Amino acid sequence: MMPMPAASRPYHHGDLRSALLATAERTLREKGVAALSLRELAREIGVSHAAPGRHFKDKRALLNALALTGYDRLAQTLDAADDPALPLQPRLNELARAYLRFSIDNAALLELMYARKHEPDAAEQMAAGIDSTIGSLDRVLADAQKRGEIIEGDPEHLTLLMGATLHGLASMTAAGMLTPEAAFGSVDELVHHLLHGLKPR
């Protein structure tokens, strides 16, 4: 079979896998996970319907890979936002804003990321992806414990509590219960209450 002319190829240097993931993410964002199909992606990219099979054996494999790219991007986002030179509360504020921004900009992808972690054939990779994203919070809280700025205890448990709080805020925003402006406006107060509690002092 003759190769497609270079001008008509929607991807470069034969990087079909990246093209499939990028097109799949756009479909996920615009139409939802049910609309994803390897055959439809192949048609949209302009390759044979069998071509995606060289990279993804089925839709499940595609979704797992898409979720893992999301974890990579989230980890990069949080790492870029983390400034060890900041005092604890402003440092956590910046991390919280970065997570919230990612979750608002990538709501469908984030939902997929959390949905894939229970699949047996992807459990180990998803666990590594989750570890890479919570690593920023783990580092901040472990450092704060060493300096006596927060209570002692299992830093992983404290990270889970903070992560659940941030994800709750993100989920409420994605569901339309909060506007993005209101969510970002509440970050500083949310982090303050996490650090100091609600009880009057």
Question: Could you tell me the domains of the chain?
Answer: 1-56 (1.10.10), 58-196 (1.10.357.10)
Question: Span 10-21, mean pLDDT?
Answer: 74
- Closest listed residue to residue 163, CA positions, set 196, 128, 190: 190
Residue 13 has a pLDDT of: 42
Q: How does residue 20 score in pLDDT terms, banded at 50, 70 and 90?
A: very high
Residue 168 has a pLDDT of: 92
Q: How does residue 122 score in pLDDT terms, banded at 50, 70 and 90?
A: confident
- List CB contacts of 89: < 8 A, sequence separation 6 or more: 191, 192, 195
What would the pLDDT profile of 128-150 be if each residue is shown by its tens digit? 888 878 878 888 888 899 888 88
| Residue carrying structure tokens 């993005």 | 180
Distance of alpha carbon 128 from the chain centroid: 13
- List CB contacts of 109: < 8 A, sequence separation 6 or more: 25, 28, 29, 66, 67, 70
- 140 is written with which tokens? 């901040």
What would the pLDDT profile of 153-191 be if each residue is shown by its tens digit? 888 888 888 889 988 999 999 889 999 999 999 999 999
Read off the pTM: 0.83
Share of the chain above pLDDT 90, in %: 49
Looking at per-residue confidence, does 11 or 180 come out higher? 180
Sort 5 into a burial class: Cβ within 10 Å, 0-12 / 13-18 / 19+. Answer: exposed
Question: Span 1-13, mean pLDDT?
Answer: 43
